[in-house]
Amino acid sequence: MIRLVVLCILLVQLGYSQSTDEEQLGKIYKTALTQGKSYDWLNYLSNQIGGRLSGSIQAQQAVDYTKQELDSLGLDRVWLQPVMVPKWVRGTPEFAYFETSPGVTTDVPIVALGGSVATPPKGIKAEVVEVKSIEELAKLGTEKIQGKIVFFNRPMDPTQINTFAAYSGCVDQRYAGAKEAFKYGALGVIVRSMNLRLDDYPHTGSMSYGDLPVSERIPAAAISTNSAELLSTALKLNPKIQFYFKQNCKQFDDVKSYNVIGEIKGSTHPDEIIVVGGHLDSWDLGDGSHDDGAGCVQSMEVLHLFKKLNYKPKRTIRVVLFMNEENGLRGGKEYAKVAKNNQEKHIFGLESDAGGFTPRGFSFDGPDAAFDQILGWRELFEPYLVHMFEKGGSGADIGPLKNDEVMLAGLRPDSQRYFDYHHAENDTFEHVNKRELELGAATMTALVYLVDKYGVPAQ
């Protein structure tokens, strides 16, 4: 009889807790959709500051602006964390064409890949060799490649429902193509843009020469998907066509920048830290609204919503706007280094760096016990159509925090349109839907609320 009474009490308490959580999540979503600041913050970042490449004036303006806005929220602490970042400058706009016969040319849009060297002042003109992979490049070897421009033309796999999987399946040609092509005497590299859509926007992104000395580095550029199709067709008709491109980019010495950090101190477990964040830098072609202005303002919104709801967290909730994710990851590495030196205890990290689209769920990287607990919260998100809770990656900037105890997570919005804008000139404010952005911020806040309330068990 006594056991039955105890069981009834526990069931009543469980039901009360569930009801309370449902009500709290309802308040979070309602407040985000009616009183949120994320869209206004993004409007300023995008339209008043613009592209925020590491080391640029715009990157510093973004640091100043977001610190000012975090200060205005009445947080317990806001500060800047210094970090040295690379400074790469694109220079004057790139120019390219291919020549099918003497004097008959077709202009094509290209952009230098981030970190590339410039062409000689008069540009490069040579025959083109099309390949679909680094493996195919190696099979052709020096005899077929030397003195030519290598054209990497492997498209993203359209059959992949998760477009990030399609991206991962071909991004090696962008990142390592120039380093590999140099081995066989190539003069330069042209890479098909990482984009599922056929359009005229070339997409930039980071590339690496590995440990090649500067004197052995060859220029690398991305070509739009429409132009990649056109060039490929032209090569089938005439393998001897000539390709010309010119770019003026330059790498400078590292400069000082900052991670922007704000926090609400925990009331009962202040030494346990929950981090939410995105990266403040962006590429320079568009204004970086989806990548990753959206993630930054959503992360700021988490703390704003808690303040708006007068929610006093048990644990310390910290927002970090990381600098230099795009071409170095210096901000994420520096944050983790300082946290380790200060012996800080991070129990949870959540990153938003997949665009400001409709939230679908989260991927989690951490202890099985913590994941099992989080799975028990999934039904709370079902009314908001957020169903995907799965094991997987988290985010590049919070990745350096990984250890055996911390649970890391990434917000996973619908990915179908993301690569239409990723690293391209059309990654602009007009392509972000206000409601979708706010739903993402609310979804992040809801998860952080539950982690704060219940904690996460270690391995």
Angle, to 10 degrees, between the axis of helix 2-35 and the axis of helix 294-308?
120
Q: How many CB atoms lie within 10 A of CB 91?
A: 12
* CA gap 402, 392 in Å, rounded: 13
Cis ω for the linkage preceding 292 (within 30 of 0): yes
Q: What is the CA radius of gyration of the chain?
A: 24
Q: How many CB atoms lie within 10 A of CB 215?
A: 6
Could you give the angle at the alpha carbon of 403 between the alpha carbons of 447 and 439, nearest 5°?
20
Catalytic residue among 94, 325, 334, 425: 325
Q: How many CB atoms lie within 10 A of CB 81?
A: 17
Beta strand 110-112 pairing with 407-413: unpaired
Q: How many CB atoms lie within 10 A of CB 387?
A: 11
Q: How many CB atoms lie within 10 A of CB 3?
A: 7
Q: Is 130 a catalytic residue?
A: no
* CA gap 31, 371 in Å, rounded: 28
Length reported for the chain:
459
Residues 6+ apart with CB under 8 A from 372: none
Torsion of CA 415, 417, 423, 425, to 10 degrees: -160
Say which residue the tokens 């500067």 belong to. 214
- Contact at 8 Å (CB) between 152 and 192? yes
Q: What are the helix and strand counts (H, E) for the chain?
A: 13, 16
DSSP annotation of 156 reads P
Spatial CA neighbour of 52 closest among 312, 354, 278: 278
E strand or H helix at 378, and its extent? helix 378-381
* CA gap 371, 366 in Å, rounded: 7
Which positions are annotated as active-site residues? 325
